[in-house]
Each structure stands twice: as C-alpha cells, then as structure tokens.
Amino acid sequence: MSAQTELRSWVESANGHPDFPLANLPLGVFSLDGDAPRGGVAIGDYIFDLAAACDAGLFADAALEAARSAAASSLNAFFARGASARLALRTGLYELLGEHSAQRTRLQAMGEMLLKPMNQCQLHLPARVGDYTDFYVGIHHANNVGKLFRPDNPLLPNYKYVPIGYHGRASTIDVSGAPVRRPNGQTLPAGASEPVFGASKRLDYELELGIWIGPGNARGEAIPIGEAAAHVAGFCLLNDWSARDLQAWEYQPLGPFLSKSFATSVSPWVVLPEALAPFRCAQPPRPAGDPQPLPYLFDERDQQLGALDIELEVLLLTEAMRAQGLPAQRIALSSTQNMYWTVAQMVAHHSVNGCSLQPGDLFGSGTLSGPSADSCGSLLEVTEGGKRALELPSGETRTFLEDGDEIILKARCRREGYPSIGFGECRGRVLPASAAAAR
C-alpha cells in the first residue's frame, strides 16, 4: 500500500492531481488542432499520445500491441482485448511515466510530441456505442420516484428480484461538453384531457455511473455471474438527461422513449477496472426481509468485493451565476454505494437470456441518489416533483432546468493508504428548444 501511495510521476502536474495521478491512467480519444482523433491517456494536465509513443518505439511486446489498439480512433478494439491488454498497457505506462523511469530524459525531450496539454485538446466519445442499456439500480431513486406515483407502495414487486433496465438510444450519446438542446414534444398539462406540443418545461438531469463493456459474449451464451467482471472494460460518468413532462405522458405501457432519446452525456475518460481495484468494497447488506438474489445473480466473491466506493457529485452553474462570477454550486453528493445491484449482477442479468453484449456497449447504472435530501441525483427528487424550489446563491430558484443552465457531474475515489483518483467531468449546458419545431 505505501508503495502505491508514493507512486510519483516525472509529469509534475500528475502528482496530487485530483483526477489523473499516475495511479489512474484512464483512456480516452482526443484530437488537437483538428487532426485525426486517436487514443490517449490522461496524466495530470496532459494527454499521453499513444500513437506518438508507439511510433517512437516506447513500447514493446504485449504493451505495444495493447497501445496500438488503444491508439485507434475508438477504443472498441482495445475493449475487446480484455484485462490482459489493460494490464500490459498499464505496466508499460508505469515504466514510462514513473518518477524513476529509465527513459525519463528521452521522454522529457519529446515534449509536446508525446504529452499534449489537455486544455488544448478536443475530447471525443471514447468508443462507438453498439447498444446502450440504462438500468435502474439506484434504490433510493427508485423509492423517491415511486413515492411520487404510489406513496404507499413505491417499489414495484419485481424490483428486489430483477435488475430493472431498458434499452436506450445509442445515436444521441455525446461526450461531455456537447450542448443539450431542450426537446420539443407532447405533454399533458395538469388537469387537461388533451396533450399540447411544445418545448419541455420539466427538463432534468440524472446522475449515473456509466459502464463500458469489454469482450462480451457469443449469442445464446449467458455470462455467469462469476465471470461477469471480466466483461467490464471501464467506467465513466453518465448524465441521462430527461424531460419529465414528455416522460409522464409517453411512458405507458412501453417505457421512456423521446423523453430520454434527445441526449445522453458521458465523461470522456474511461477509468479502467484496475485503477478502481483499491475502491472495491462489499455490497451493502440487503435490509432485513429483502429476498436473496436468485442463484444466477449471486456470487460470494461479487458480494464481498463487487461493489464500488465512488463519491459522486452534481453541480449547477446558471447564466446568472456566471454573470455574477459565482462558481458552480454543488446540489448533490452521493455514492455508488447506493446501487442495489452490482455491475456484475447487471452483466449476468443482461446476458442470461442469450442476448449478446459487445465491446463498446454502454450501460447506465440508473440514477444514484442517496437516502438524504442533499444526495438526490435528479431535480425531480430534489424538488419533489417540482413542488419545492431549490435556492441558489445567485438568488434564483429552480424546480427544473432553465436554458443556459449547465450541469457538471464529478466522481472521486478516496481510501486511506491509496492515492485518490477522479473521473474528470461530465458537463452539458442547456440550449433553448428549436423554434422551428416549437412553431
């Protein structure tokens, strides 16, 4: 442990960096000055250019193979290679970037050939998303939302047996920073018997953990729970933007559709399972009276070590706050410990019917609210369905998002004896609805 605490890099900005110290080394896809998007690794304030490193002969053998596939314009092929490629790449990167690297002088001389200043780079979606599945494993969120509809019986009978999920829209997944246009659609005004068409008035965010899928399974072959972790390629933050008024009117009987498909944002950096290993923990015990998971969803090791201890944060920055020079305001602090099901349980469930998971598939965890008012992962919960306005330091209030509002998700892992790591940000700013369609 102490060895890891002391791991320092000759890239000075990495040491003590809140997100990207040497212990993290997340992968992403970047470009600079409009050149071709390619894979890179976040280290402090820089992006380590994997293609440049390969070309310069900095890697050999398995690390070179892994780095070549991670240097591509999307990480799908790298995801497909699984844990051995990740380990080979990380070992190679530690050797190159550690404080006592044998090649330090040569690498420093390469300067920006090798290390691109992150703030000058554009970050892209790290992989082509095949299928996107959004789960609903945040039990406090399910409870809070259920209470708005069914005060006496918030959780449906299947919730504690089934890791509930649904298919989402892959074509509208954006990387952090892409603006989010307020959607138009049908809504049923309170008390009305006929819907109206127009811009959503109840635009919301959802704080989620994103899970990138690795090798995946052949069609018809379920992934056993004990092998599920091997099919996870990495993690990110995910904002499942939601138009609550469209959702309330459209979602019966087949689930959310246009209320979600206008935009989903993910953070650009894929935090690898190896970087998160120190932050694994036991799945919190189920409350007394809850059923045990069915055998296909139960694995002793997964129960002991399959959960994650990641601190999650939502911040809001409005136009007025920007004008007044105020910083973004934290509106929720939550944790991945609010997941009723582990990621391995989600993988095992998704494939148990023979459905094939593929490299580059993306899962959302569902909104990860905590049990308290200051840990709610959506405005729907914070404002109790729009009934209690949220007060902001600018003197404004919010029930749902206004045009110009920016939502910033962050995540951090801390544990005594280990260097902290972070996920970077998942940002999105609300643009006004399209006037053409709003007529």
Sequence ranges of the binding site for Ca(2+): 134, 206, 208, 240
- Using rule CB under 8 A, residue 161 touches a second copy: yes
Which parts are annotated binding residues for substrate? Answer: 136, 150, 247, 251, 367
> Site residues for a second copy, window 197-226 (CB under 8 A)?
197, 219-222
- Using rule CB under 8 A, residue 261 touches a second copy: yes
Q: Which parts of 135-174 fold into alpha helices (H)?
A: 139-149
Contact at 8 Å (CB) between 82 and 214?
yes
Distances (CA, A) of 88 to 20, 62, 66, 71, 395: 19, 6, 7, 14, 52
- Using rule CB under 8 A, residue 258 touches a second copy: yes
Between 360 and 419, name the residue whose CB sits nearer to a second copy.
360
- Using rule CB under 8 A, residue 355 touches a second copy: yes
- Using rule CB under 8 A, residue 100 touches a second copy: no
Q: Where are the beta strands (DSSP E) in 389-437?
A: 390-391, 397-398, 406-415, 418-431
Q: What is the dihedral of CA 266, 270, 273, 279, to 10 degrees?
A: -70
For the CB of residue 282, give the shortest distance to a second copy in the complex, in Å.
Answer: 24
Residues 6+ apart with CB under 8 A from 170: 129, 130, 131, 132, 362
Q: What is the dihedral of CA 249, 316, 207, 302, to 10 degrees?
A: -170
Distances (CA, A) of 50 to 47, 54, 92, 425: 9, 6, 11, 22
Query: Quick one: how far is CA 346 from the chain centroid?
Result: 15
Residue 111 in tokens = 């300067």
- Taking CB under 8 A as the criterion, the residue among 31, 73, 356, 394 binding a second copy is 356
- Single out the residue of 25, 33, 140, 159 nearest to residue 93, CA to CA: 25
141 is catalytic: yes
- Taking CB under 8 A as the criterion, the residue among 33, 35, 152, 194 binding a second copy is 194
For the CB of residue 104, give the shortest distance to a second copy in the complex, in Å.
Answer: 44
> Site residues for a second copy, window 280-319 (CB under 8 A)?
291, 294-296
DSSP secondary structure code for residue 169 in this structure: -
- Site size for a second copy (CB under 8 A): 64
For 255, the 3-state DSSP assignment is coil
> Site residues for a second copy, window 331-350 (CB under 8 A)?
349-350
- Taking CB under 8 A as the criterion, the residue among 240, 250, 299, 313 binding a second copy is 250
- Using rule CB under 8 A, residue 105 touches a second copy: no
Binding pattern for the stretch 227-246 against a second copy, x by CB under 8 A and - elsewhere: ----------------x--x
Stretch of 26-34, 84-92, 105-113, 249-257 lying at the interface with a second copy (CB under 8 A): 249-257
Which parts are annotated binding residues for Mg(2+)? Answer: 240, 260, 264
DSSP secondary structure code for residue 430 in this structure: E
Distances (CA, A) of 55 to 36, 49, 51, 261: 16, 10, 6, 40
Between 331 and 430, name the residue whose CB sits nearer to a second copy.
430
* Buried residues in 185-200 as b, exposed as e (16+ CB within 10 A): bebeeeeeeeeeebbb
Write the DSSP string, 77-140.
Answer: HHHHHHHHHHHHHHHHHHHHHBTT-TTHHHHHHHGGGTEEEGGGEEEE-SS--S-EEEE--BHH
Between 25 and 222, name the residue whose CB sits nearer to a second copy.
222
- Taking CB under 8 A as the criterion, the residue among 83, 148, 164, 320 binding a second copy is 164
For the CB of residue 218, give the shortest distance to a second copy in the complex, in Å.
Answer: 11
- Single out the residue of 265, 143, 128 nearest to residue 210, CA to CA: 265
Gap between the Cα atoms of 146 and 148, Å rounded: 5
Could you say which of 141, 231, 349, 350 is catalytic?
Answer: 141
Stretch of 52-60, 107-115, 325-333, 430-438 lying at the interface with a second copy (CB under 8 A): 430-438
For the CB of residue 257, give the shortest distance to a second copy in the complex, in Å.
Answer: 6
For the CB of residue 307, give the shortest distance to a second copy in the complex, in Å.
Answer: 22
Q: What residues line the site for a second copy (CB under 8 A)?
A: 130-131, 136, 156-158, 161-162, 164-172, 181, 183-186, 188, 194-195, 197, 219-222, 243, 246, 249-259, 261-263, 291, 294-296, 349-350, 352-358, 361, 434, 436-437, 439
Which are the catalytic amino acids? 141
